[in-house]
């Protein structure tokens, strides 16, 4: 009986930094950056000139503001089907009107993990195979 073969996977870990600012009772603003390595600068996931505004809802508020950050991750950063990912535990820092969150984003892909910057000032992560 033949032994099943397993495909090699590439694993990567990047740091995610996001801030959530409550605008009013209906809206929050979310900004997000990633850092690929401690020796590299923070890269903006969303265009800094066009902040992302999210409608506040009861379901998200029950999960905490981290839920807004995870929505942004799913929609704008790790939208590639070839990339598996999970987040570490969120670290929270509360400032004046803004809460900052940081976590390790663990990535896994069959071939390689790629970061693509776009003309519109955004970036995406991809799993290549």
Distances (CA, A) of 70 to 32, 35, 48, 78, 104: 10, 17, 18, 10, 12
pLDDT of residue 96: 85
pLDDT of residue 42: 92
Q: Identify whether 39 is part of a domain.
A: yes
Question: What would the pLDDT profile of 56-106 be if each residue is shown by its tens digit?
Answer: 876 566 777 888 888 888 888 877 778 888 899 999 999 888 999 999 999
What is the residue range of 108's domain?
10-128
pLDDT of residue 35: 93
Cβ atoms of 70 and 87 within 8 Å: the answer is: yes
Q: Identify whether 46 is part of a domain.
A: yes
Count of domains forming the chain = 1
70 vs 103: CA distance, rounded Å: 11
Q: Identify whether 3 is part of a domain.
A: no
pLDDT at position 1 over 60: no
Q: Identify whether 116 is part of a domain.
A: yes
Which residue reads 């020796």 in tokens?
39
Q: Identify whether 57 is part of a domain.
A: yes
Residues paired with 5 in a beta bridge: none
pLDDT of residue 129: 77
Q: Identify whether 86 is part of a domain.
A: yes
pLDDT-derived band of residue 4, with 50, 70 and 90 as boundaries? Answer: low
Q: Identify whether 5 is part of a domain.
A: no
Average of per-residue pLDDT across 40-67: 80
Question: What would the pLDDT profile of 12-24 be if each residue is shown by its tens digit?
Answer: 899 999 999 989 9
Q: Identify whether 42 is part of a domain.
A: yes
């Amino acid at each position: 009986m033949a032994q099943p073969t397993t495909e090699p996977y590439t694993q990567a870990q990047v740091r995610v930094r996001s801030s959530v600012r409550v605008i009013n009772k209906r809206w929050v603003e979310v900004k997000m950056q990633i850092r690929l390595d401690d020796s590299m600068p923070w890269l903006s996931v969303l265009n800094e000139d066009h902040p992302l505004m999210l409608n506040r809802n009861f379901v998200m508020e029950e999960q905490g503001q981290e839920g807004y950050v995870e929505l942004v991750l799913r929609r704008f950063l790790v939208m590639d089907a070839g990339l598996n990912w999970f987040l570490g535990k969120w670290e929270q820092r509360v400032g004046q009107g803004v809460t900052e969150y940081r976590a390790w984003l663990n990535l896994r892909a069959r071939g390689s993990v790629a970061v693509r910057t776009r003309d519109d000032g955004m970036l995406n992560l991809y799993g290549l195979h």
